[in-house]
């Protein structure tokens, strides 16, 4: 074997990643930088025009509707994430055992997760119908004043949140179940020998062992719920009076209905930044778990 042959750079491995690399560059890298570029342009349906600096961003921060969508999105995250984490943890603690009944029940609580947003919203719109929906029937049964869930400004986003919680609670539950099953059993045995009761072993063994999973699940849910779109679009169209309009809905409206591409691109960069902060936190938490990437 000659030295030239040994020293020759081996590019053949490159061929294996080439197909993915082409898709990655055309679908993610170029659109990402092109999108950042668009956010500094005066752009409309006919493509980018002139460079306008931060004008699109400045316009957004003076746009009452955009600021409202930011507020709504944070409110929605607050409405959903704590409930999802608590319910998910509660269900996981109750159904953590590997037994037939527990398996079936876990399967039921997880089942809504696999449905599409279209099906979920259709089901919940049918339930929230003012006069004849399931909710209205229940309210009448108890003699309460029925609420127009989807058209009441105080209730629209809460209704979307209720449907979302029903849709999403399976994932936190399963992540907590996986974490619970990794807690060594002898910890509990040792504690009970030392005379700890159930409450004490929950407080001093279960909760500390779950700490990282709780943080992780919270971050995953924040990132997910921050991207609220389909539920709000299909259940309330963002109404009434924009009370249930989210940031992503604003991007959709600006970018694909009003063709105000500059605003839409700027809004999507702001969303990206907010999600990036959460993603960074997730990266730090998962890396601390001792995984190597």
Rule CB under 8 A: choose which of 115, 147, 158, 196 binds other proteins.
115
Cβ neighbour number for residue 252 with a 10 Å cutoff: 18
* Spatial CB neighbours of 174, under 8 Å, sequence gap ≥ 6: 92, 106, 110
Q: What is the DSSP letter of 261?
A: H
32 binds other proteins (CB under 8 A): yes
Minimum distance between the CB of residue 191 and other proteins, rounded to whole angstroms? Answer: 17
From the list 198, 258, 287, 288, which residue makes contact with other proteins (rule: CB under 8 A)? 198
Q: C-beta of 176: minimal distance to other proteins in Å? A: 10
Query: CA 28, CA 272: separation in Å to the nearest integer?
Result: 13
- Residue 196 in contact with other proteins, rule: CB under 8 A: no
With CA atoms as reference, report the closest residue to 134 among 113, 109, 163. Answer: 163
122 binds other proteins (CB under 8 A): yes
**Which of 78, 132, 144, 184 is close enough to bind other proteins by CB under 8 A?**
132
Report CA Rg, the chain: 25
Q: Which of 4, 5, 10, 193 binds other proteins (CB under 8 A)?
A: 10
- Return the closest-CA partner of residue 187 out of 201, 200, 197: 201
Nearer CB in complex with other proteins: 79/168: 168
Q: Judged by CB under 8 A, how many residues of this single chain contact other proteins?
A: 89
Which segments within the chain are labelled E, that is strand? 41-44, 47-51
Contact between 125 and other proteins (CB under 8 A)? Answer: yes
Residues in 238-267 that interact with other proteins by CB under 8 A: 248, 251-252, 255-256, 261, 264-265
Backbone angles phi, psi at 213, to 5 degrees: -65, -40
Q: Which position among 4, 19, 62, 194 is part of the footprint of other proteins (CB under 8 A)?
A: 19
Please report the DSSP string for 11-67 in residue order: -HHHHHHHHHHHHHIIIIIHHHHHHHHHTTEEEETTEEEEE-TTHHHHHHHT-HHHH
- Distance (Å, rounded) from C-alpha 286 to C-alpha 284? 6
209 is an interface residue for other proteins by CB under 8 A: no
Please report whether residue 181 would count as binding other proteins according to CB under 8 A: no
Indicate whether 70 belongs to the interface with other proteins (CB under 8 A): no
Minimum CB–partner distance for residue 38 and other proteins (Å) = 6
Site string for other proteins, 211-240 (x = CB under 8 A): -----x---x--x---x-xx---x------
- Rounded CA separation 21/181 (Å): 38
Give the residue with the Cβ less far from other proteins, 65 or 105: 105
Interface segment toward other proteins; rule CB under 8 A; list 14-22, 59-67, 72-80, 187-195: 14-22
Rule CB under 8 A: is residue 207 a binding residue for other proteins? no
């Amino acid at each position: 074997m000659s030295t030239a042959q040994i020293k020759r750079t081996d590019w053949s491995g490159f061929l294996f990643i080439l197909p993915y690399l082409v898709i990655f560059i055309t679908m993610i890298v170029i659109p990402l930088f092109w999108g950042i570029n668009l956010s500094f342009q005066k752009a409309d349906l006919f493509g980018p025009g002139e460079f306008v600096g931060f004008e699109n961003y400045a316009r957004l921060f003076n746009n009452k509707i955009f600021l409202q969508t930011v507020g709504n999105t944070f409110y929605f995250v607050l409405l959903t994430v704590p409930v999802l984490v608590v319910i998910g943890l509660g269900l996981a603690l109750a159904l953590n055992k590997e037994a037939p009944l527990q398996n079936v029940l876990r399967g039921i609580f997880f089942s809504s997760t696999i449905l599409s947003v279209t099906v979920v919203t259709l089901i919940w719109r049918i339930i929230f119908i003012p006069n004849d929906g399931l909710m209205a029937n229940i309210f009448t049964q108890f003699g309460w004043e029925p609420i127009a869930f989807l058209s009441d400004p105080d209730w629209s986003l809460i209704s979307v949140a209720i449907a979302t919680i029903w849709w999403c609670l399976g994932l936190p539950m399963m992540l907590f179940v996986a974490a619970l099953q990794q807690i060594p059993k002898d910890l509990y045995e040792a504690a009970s020998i030392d005379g700890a009761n159930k409450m004490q072993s929950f407080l001093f063994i279960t909760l500390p062992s779950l700490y990282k999973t709780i943080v992780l699940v919270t971050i995953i849910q924040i990132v997910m719920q921050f991207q609220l779109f389909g539920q709000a679009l299909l259940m309330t169209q963002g109404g009434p009076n924009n009370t249930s309009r989210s940031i992503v809905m604003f991007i959709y409206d600006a970018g694909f209905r009003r063709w105000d591409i500059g605003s839409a691109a700027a809004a999507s960069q702001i969303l990206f930044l907010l999600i990036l902060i959460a993603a960074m936190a997730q990266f730090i938490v998962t890396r601390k778990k001792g995984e190597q990437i």
